[in-house]
Every structure is written in structure tokens, then in C-alpha cells.
Structure 1
Amino acid sequence: MATGSDLKRAIGLMSGTSMDGIDLAMLETDGDSIVHRGASSSTPYDAAFRKRLEAALETAKSIDARSDRPDDLAGLEADLTDRHAATVEAFLAREGLEATDIDVIGFHGQTVLHRPLKALTVQLGDGQRMAKRLGIDVVYDLRAHDMTLGGQGAPLVPAYHRALAAGLPDDLASETPVAFVNIGGISNITYVDPQSELLAFDSGPGNTLIDQWVARHAGIPYDSGGAIASEGRVLSGLANRYLASPFFTAKERISLDRNDFTLPADDEAGLEDGARTLAFVSAAAIAKAQAHFPAKPKLWILTGGGRHNRIIVEDLTVATRHSGRVIVAEEAGLNGDSMEAEAWAWLAVRSLHGLPLTYPGTTGVKEPATGGVLARP
């Protein structure tokens, strides 16, 4: 059991916009400055379930209220919750732990609709169902309260990035400002500088367009290591069309939905050139974020699945060569695969303590705000 009135053992569960599976991570933390990272795991979704989630994105477009579950969404929510719970059960068995060894679970669920300008966000996931099955307290629905206070409900991980930045190894600690870049389906960036407020926002498409492109043209879920992109060339006209989006130049930063950027037409590019161009767009979008920071980052720390795409990493390294250096999370002693799940564990504890999860500089909320719903067994 976790000891002390503030220190808790927590499990975080994350299923991101790539919809590729469930990431789990365990922490012992006070939800503030103490972060003891523990074991983690990743459980992929089978192809049939991924198709159900993709179909849910279309179904969810008809939602007008957060509680709406049209068509099969209620059944899908129950199935998704049960898959997450089973992942926890398998993890506890593997680690030789009991449910009583865990103080709280932070449950993200699966985002199927995110419309910040309408203050509407929907994450499938029944925290009460999970708490009852596992016999563990569950904190879920962490985005909604922020939106009632004028925020965009995303990104939520930046406060955790700041906690990690404070604990970087000595050889990196002096390289500030530092930017954490999570390259998931959508890329988001956190700017951490002791001399300024915490800033964060979505930077643009990360892996989502690449994944959809190779799925359509090659029948595979993603471009492993950027292998397909490495065989192609950047189509400048197509890339420039994406990068000319008003999203990149708008002063107000908004959080993105998976469908805000769409695929090229099939006749605009072949498999390799399309993958190469979309990888370039992902990197260029990240580099463009510098225009919205007080100063250029001296260090870029890459997390999420996109850090494995060497073409994205190489393009970003070139684009930022005059300002800072680019490293992957592991070079900073961190785990780039489990970081978001870790964040959800940390945020759950933070929620229990009533501490802020979001800030004016991260989601646009009017004032620092806590959030989350607590479900008990």
C-alpha cells in the first residue's frame, strides 16, 4: 500500500487518438513534485475492435450532449470499459499485486468527439462500471470541468510534463526552455520555462494522417519506423496546402479533433510519397509551434508513438537545428510509450487532492482548475 497521507499508488489508463490500444502505467506520487515511476504495459486492440472505434467517430458526430450514446455507442462504451478493466487485472496478476495495493485508477477512456468551440467533449468510458468490477476507486471524465470554466478540455498532460522537467538529469536540467512533444494521433506540445507560465497546445496532425494513409493504401495500421516514408519524397504542393491552414497562424490556440485534418485524395500521391509528405507535415507543424512561445526551446523531448518514426524525428531535427536539440524521451531517462498513462495516474491523485489539472496557458481556462469524477466500488 502507498504510505503517507499524500503519497498514493495509482494506475493510469490511456487510449489515445491513434486508437491502437491501451497503455497502462503505475506511479507512486503525491500528485505534485514526488513521482516514482513504476511498471507499465501496452495492450493492443484487435483489428475488429479498432474498426468499431473508427465507426464510432462517425456515429459520434450526431452527439449534441455529452451524455448522448446513439446507436451502438452505449454497448461500445461497456465493452471498452471492460477491456480496460481486464488490462488492469492482467497487470496486477503479472506484478503480484492485489486490488487493495492500488489507491486509485486514472481512466481516460476513448475520445470520440472533441469540439472545444462548442464546449463539447465525449470520452467513452464508464468509471463506475470499472470501479465496481475492480474494487478500486476510479477518477475519470477529467476534461469536462475545464470546459465548463471556459477551457478547451485539452491538453491535460502539461502539468505532468512540468513535474518531469523538474526532475530531469543534471546534464539536461540547464537546457531550458524545454518542449515536451507528444506525437500521438494529434501532436501536442508543452513549453516549460521557470521564467514564464506553463504553455501547451495541440500543434497539428501527428500520426493520424500517416496511419490512415498507409491503412488505406497498404492495409497496415501504421508506418513502422517510417520505413514507407523513407522510400518517398516530399510533395511540396501538398505539404504547403496543409501548412497553409489558418490553424497554424491563428493567435488563439485550439485543441484538435482527429478529423480536423483530412487525408489527401487518392490521386494526389502514391503510397510512399504520401507517407513521406505527411511525415514532413507532422514535423513542420511541431516546428511552427515556436512562433507561439516566448523563446525557442533549447531542448525538445519527444514522446508518443511518433518518436519511433525516424523521418519525423529527422525532419524536426533539421527544422529546429538553429535553436535547440531534439532527443527522444528515453535519452532523458523517461518512458515515451507510457508517459501519457503515467500522466493519468498522476492527474487522478492530483484530482483527489483538489489540485489544478489545467491552467490558462494550457487549455485557456479562466483560472487554474481541478477536475475529474470519483467513482467508488
Structure 2
Amino acid sequence: MGDTLGESRYIGIMSGTSLDGVDAVLVSFDSSGPSLIQTHFLPYDDILRTQLLALNDAGHDELHRAALLSNRLSRLYADAVAALLAKSEVDSREIVAIGCHGQTVRHCPQMENAYSVQLGNAALLAELTGITVVADFRSRDIAAGGQGAPLVPAFHRMMFRDQRVCRAIVNIGGIANITYLPPEGEVVGFDCGPGNMLMDAWCMRHKGSTYDHDGAWAGSGHVIPGLLEALLAFPFFALPPPKSTGREMFSIDWLGLYLNGDEAPEDVQATLLRLTVETIASSLLQHSPGVEEVYLCGGGVHNGQLVAELNAILPGKKIKPTDALGVNTDWMEAFAFAWLAKQTIEKAPGNLPAVTGATGSRILGAIYLA
């Protein structure tokens, strides 16, 4: 199964903090390394997005609602797998396993009894697809004293480390995170703050749109210096790695604590974009000494205003999308979870203790056999 002349095939599924939908990829692993065979995106509808957002806060009957949404997500994941296989003309029996991250609705890594919750019924997904599923990637790292995130830096190290050049990979999804890849020594990786999440929420509130296309609305406004200064003073930004975060910390309600109510909406949007840019740039300069090349991935790559401001604040750095390294920016995380599933199946570690803070390397994930 999934092994032709040393080749093995895995599927990676990612639905991230931006709540835009399901990314599914088919990946081939052979002696020459991993390669992306096919991709498929399945968007969330507005009702599902609203229901998932509601679970980020305590509410009535939330256990029941979470269970129902886990089942619904798994059916959506199964639909994405079916479409992916049909597009690539590959039989499900050729797939070793699906690596499914699930939909994060709570991420509380700093608590004494830390935990992270990703919705998705992996048993149902295995039943619907007839394919072995690897899920629940974060729990083992958290049990070992880590934060359970970010997990993708281990994949970045395998794919993109160069023996001559200091590189950084910056993923700008709902949350922004950085992987620093020096030619030798330990990899550094951490969440540096909000990526698109606050901008998307503010855009939805004032424009009725799920995102600010190309950053045009932010570009029409002006940064509010006092607001930016207050936001940048939030303690999370000064914390050293390892660190990770989510909607629990950077919500629209959190933003509301800093507003007086008479700001022009476009000026707030411009300020939120600058917050993302400055926290990425300061994190790179502080924790990625000597970085020469910065490669961007995630939805933020499509925000022209954001990329332009990042280039302006980091003069002399080579800033390009990860396409230049051979991996399309939109599929990086799904690709990573195909690889993480392979690590689990092969009983190999999937975390980087220096990144998550775990006490050691661990085999991640729970396996649901087909």
C-alpha cells in the first residue's frame, strides 16, 4: 500500500486559525525527497465559520456543539480527500495515512494544566475514507512539558535548511510564526503574534468581508501612533521563545480594550497591519541573528500592503514567497502535516523541543487504523 519502488503517499489536511476552509494535499515521499502531487481547497460556509468562532469562548451546551462540529468537520475533511484523490486519479488504497491537524478552538499552553483542543472526529474520518488517520498531534508535546505549537518548524528544518545561508520562514496565517534556520545549531521557532486574524475580524465587522483584499483598505488609512504603541506594549510580545498563542489572547474583544470609539475604521485597520509587520520584524531581528533570507507563506503573502511594509522595515533582507524554495505558499502547513503523519507512522519524532519547550523529542499523534 502506497509503496511503489520506494514511494509512499500521504495526505495532509489543515484548517487554520483564519477559518477560511480546508487545505488538503497529496504528497509523495521517495528517495529524492517529498513532492506535492495535488492540492484541493474546500471553503467553510458562513454558518460553520460562525459556529466555530463561537466555540473559542465558553457558552451554553458547548460540549454537545463541539461534538457535532467535530463530526461535521470530519465529513468535510472526507469530502476534501475524495476530491483530492479524484483530481489526482489516485486510489485511496495507495495512501498510507492522512495527517489531520483538526480545527483549533482552544489553545491554552501557558496554564498550569496546559491543553489545546482541535476539533475533528478522526475515527469518523478513517471510517468515511477507508484510510488510516493520524490526528491529535499537539497533546504528546504538551504532556512532555511543551506548548504543542508551533509544530511546522520541524518540517521547515527538513525541507529548507541550507548549509551556507541563514534563513527564516515566516508563516502569516491567522497567527504569525517564525522559523529561524541557521546553517548549524538549534532551530528557533515561535508564534510572534497576530497575523491576519485581527485584520480579518475588523474587516468583517466594518466591511462585511472575510479579509482585506491585497490590504487595500488598510492602505487607505493611517497608522494611529498611540494605539500602535499601546498594542505593542502587550506583554506577550516581550516574552522569549518558546511561546505560542491564539484567539484566546488576540481577539476582537482584546482589541476593543485599546479603542476609545472615535477612531476611523480604516485607520484601525492600518494600525493592525502595522502591528503584524512590526511584531514579525522585531522578532526576526531579535531572535534570528544574521538572517539573510526571509521566505513568506500563508494567507498574508497575498496582502500586498503587508508585504510592502515588511520589505520597507527590513531593508537589506531578501524577502520572497516560499514558492522560490519550491513549496507554494498556500499549501505549506497541509504539506507539513502529511510529513508529520509519516513521522508518526514510522515511529519518528515530530517535534523540536527547542521550539515547543518539551523536555525531549516525542513521536506525535494518535493513529486510527483504516
Whether TM-score is above 0.5 comes out as yes
Aligned to 2:46: 47
Q: Deviations over 1:238-278 (max 9, x none)?
A: 11111111212223432102131222437153221111111
On the 8 A contact 1:284/1:315 being kept in 2, the answer is no
Aligned pair partner of 1:277 in 271, 281, 285: 271
Aligned partner of residue 162 in structure 1, secondary structure = helix
CA distance in 1 between counterparts of 2:126 and 2:340 reads 17
On the 8 A contact 2:70/2:120 being kept in 1, the answer is yes
Aligned to 2:339: 346
Aligned partner of residue 255 in structure 1, secondary structure = coil
On the 8 A contact 1:132/1:376 being kept in 2, the answer is no
Aligned pair partner of 1:308 in 284, 302, 305: 302
Aligned to 2:145: 150
Instruction: Report the TM-score when normalising by structure 1.
Output: 0.91
On the 8 A contact 1:25/1:38 being kept in 2, the answer is yes
Deviation at 1:111, TM superposition (A): 0.3
On the 8 A contact 1:210/1:275 being kept in 2, the answer is yes
Give, as a single letter, the amino acid of the residue that structure 2 aligns with 1:55: A
Q: Deviations over 1:198-234 (max 9, x none)?
A: 1100010000000000000111100011111111111
Identity %, equivalent residues: 38
Q: Which stretch has the larger CA shift, 90-99 or 266-275?
A: 266-275
Aligned partner of residue 193 in structure 2, secondary structure = strand
Deviation at 1:285, TM superposition (A): 0.6
Give, as a single letter, the amino acid of the residue that structure 1 aligns with 2:120: G
Deviation at 1:4, TM superposition (A): 6.1
Deviation at 1:113, TM superposition (A): 0.3
* Alpha-carbon distance change, 352 to 268 in structure 1, aligned in 2, over 3 angstroms: farther
Give, as a single letter, the amino acid of the residue that structure 1 aligns with 2:27: L
Q: Deviations over 1:106-145 (max 9, x none)?
A: 0011000000023211000111110011100000000000
Deviation at 1:293, TM superposition (A): 2.2
Q: Deviations over 1:176-198 (max 9, x none)?
A: 21110110000011011122201
CA distance in 1 between counterparts of 2:322 and 2:260 reads 35
Aligned partner of residue 338 in structure 1, secondary structure = helix
Aligned positions of 1:253-332 closer than 5 A: 253-261=242-250, 262-264=254-256, 265=259, 267-293=261-287, 295-322=289-316, 324-332=317-325
CA distance in 2 between counterparts of 1:156 and 1:231 reads 36
Residue 211 in structure 1 maps to residue 200 in structure 2: yes
Q: Deviations over 1:148-175 (max 9, x none)?
A: 0000000010011112214xxxxxx576
Aligned positions of 1:11-90 closer than 5 A: 11-29=11-29, 34-59=33-58, 70-90=63-83
Aligned to 1:105: 98
On the 8 A contact 1:33/1:163 being kept in 2, the answer is no
Instruction: Report the TM-score when normalising by structure 2.
Output: 0.93
Aligned pair partner of 2:133 in 122, 138, 143: 138
Number of aligned residues: 363
Aligned pair partner of 2:211 in 213, 219, 222: 222
* Alpha-carbon distance change, 77 to 266 in structure 1, aligned in 2, over 3 angstroms: farther
Deviation at 1:292, TM superposition (A): 4.2
* Alpha-carbon distance change, 150 to 7 in structure 1, aligned in 2, over 3 angstroms: farther
Aligned pair partner of 2:225 in 221, 236, 252: 236
Deviation at 1:358, TM superposition (A): 1.0
Give, as a single letter, the amino acid of the residue that structure 2 aligns with 1:25: V
* Alpha-carbon distance change, 71 to 332 in structure 1, aligned in 2, over 3 angstroms: same
Residue 184 in structure 1 maps to residue 193 in structure 2: no
Aligned partner of residue 153 in structure 1, secondary structure = coil
Give, as a single letter, the amino acid of the residue that structure 1 aligns with 2:185: S
CA distance in 2 between counterparts of 1:330 and 1:206 reads 19
On the 8 A contact 2:163/2:184 being kept in 1, the answer is no
Give, as a single letter, the amino acid of the residue that structure 1 aligns with 2:28: E
* Alpha-carbon distance change, 174 to 269 in structure 1, aligned in 2, over 3 angstroms: farther
Deviation at 1:27, TM superposition (A): 0.9
* Structure 1 residues not aligned, in runs of 5+: 63-67, 167-172
On the 8 A contact 1:14/1:22 being kept in 2, the answer is yes
Misfit runs of 4+, over 4 Å: 4-7
Aligned to 1:2: 2
Aligned partner of residue 82 in structure 2, secondary structure = helix
Q: Deviations over 1:5-42 (max 9, x none)?
A: 97420010000000110001111126x98212211121
* Alpha-carbon distance change, 346 to 246 in structure 1, aligned in 2, over 3 angstroms: same
Aligned partner of residue 35 in structure 1, secondary structure = strand
* Alpha-carbon distance change, 220 to 266 in structure 1, aligned in 2, over 3 angstroms: farther
On the 8 A contact 1:280/1:311 being kept in 2, the answer is no
Aligned partner of residue 37 in structure 2, secondary structure = strand
Deviation at 1:317, TM superposition (A): 1.1
Give, as a single letter, the amino acid of the residue that structure 2 aligns with 1:57: N
Aligned pair partner of 1:96 in 89, 92, 109: 89
Deviation at 1:48, TM superposition (A): 1.2
CA distance in 2 between counterparts of 1:48 and 1:87 reads 18
Give, as a single letter, the amino acid of the residue that structure 1 aligns with 2:130: G
Aligned to 2:121: 126
* Alpha-carbon distance change, 268 to 23 in structure 1, aligned in 2, over 3 angstroms: farther
CA distance in 1 between counterparts of 2:275 and 2:331 reads 25
